Homo-oligomer: A and B are copies of this chain.
Amino acid sequence: MNIKEVARLAKVSTATVSRTINGSDKVTAETAERVRRAIEALKYYPNTNARALGSGRSSLYGLIISDITNPFFPELVKSFEDVAVQFGQEVLVANTNYDPHRMEVCVSRMLQRKADGVAIMTSEMEEHLIDELSSRRIPLVFLDTGTPQEGISNIAIDYASGIDAAVVHLTSLGHTSIGFIRGPMALTSARIRYRAFIDSMKRKGLTIDDRLIEEGNHRMDGGHEAMMRLLDKSVRPTAVLTSNDMTAIGALGAMFERGLKVPDDMSIIGFDDIELNTFAKPGLTTVRVSRKEIAKVAFHALYEARDNPAARGAEFTIQPTLVERKTTGPALPKRASRQPAKRLVAR
């Protein structure tokens, strides 16, 4: 069942079959119909490998992510795939597992499969690998890289405005003592968020108390431990921002374990808005970074750039939005009745 057999059955040349498949207009309706019937009868599926080889177009778009089990990514992957399918393109997802060596494997896969474009949504990236890709004129789009580069598109996330919205939300609720659980400073994204927090606090004329700043690992356990450390201190903020949602959820768990209530005893705001939050108890107030939007923008950037070199190196910005749920509330005056035991019963 290759194109020749289809051609024989339909009594046409392979060129005509190919044209029919690819929707070329240079085929009579009747001929096309005959070809289509032959395809149907033989249950013929064109060989993608041969197609890509012959045409020089793979119709394949690479998506490199860190780790699909990181809740930030599934929705991104799904949205990216959805858009791609709409355009009749395919997606090749590769996980780096945060490992530079695996990253090389991923890039090499993209190169070997002749991807028509590659979206890189991880923070760990090495210069020489980027060169490898861009020197082959493969359209690239990065998520949120700090340093823009010639000919490489970038999707920036306006952290400043996102964090600002969170801080404003808190101050409007009367909070002035605001803490922050940052991510590991080795991560670009964590550093940027932390810096945005510092800047925002300064802009609002709020004092930054180093004691109210802890570091997690962008996972639940790290958030949990960071909040524990925070709660063990002599000073306690009335609100805490976190570097991502997983951290916030971990922190929420720590509050729960200590018998403290959110938002009464402390307001907590996450970052990212992973699906999970909708159902967290209580629902997590967070700064949403729409994965659907990122995926859409990324795919379009690549798709555009495929035939149009001028479209390369475009800059996009995603505006985060504050999503108010249940973990933020008015700053309450400290109450005497802050005994864990009592609240545990009340639950």
Contacts and interface: CB of A to CB of B under 8 A. Distances in A.
Interface of A: 43, 45-50, 52-53, 58, 67-69, 73-75, 77-78, 81-82, 85, 90, 92-93, 95, 97, 102, 105, 108-109, 111-114, 132, 220-221, 224, 249-250, 252-253, 256-257, 259, 261, 275-276, 278-279, 281, 346-347
Contacts of A58: 49
A112 B279 contact: no
A50 B47 contact: no
A113 B53 CA distance: 12
A252 B280 CA distance: 10
Contacts of A252: 281
A347 to B, nearest CB: 7
B68 A68 contact: yes
B74 A78 contact: no
Number of copies: 2
Question: Max chain B CB contacts within 10 Å: which of A53, A114, A132, A224?
Answer: A53
24 contacts: A46-B112, A47-B53, A48-B49, A48-B113, A48-B114, A49-B53, A49-B114, A50-B53, A53-B53, A69-B74, A69-B78, A69-B275, A78-B95, A78-B97, A81-B95, A93-B93, A220-B279, A224-B279, A253-B279, A253-B281, A276-B276, A281-B281, A346-B347, A347-B347
Contact of A78 (B68, B82, B275, B279): B68
B221 A279 contact: yes
Contacts of A92: 92
A245 B114 CA distance: 40
B105 A85 contact: yes
Nearest to A283: B253
A228 B252 CA distance: 24
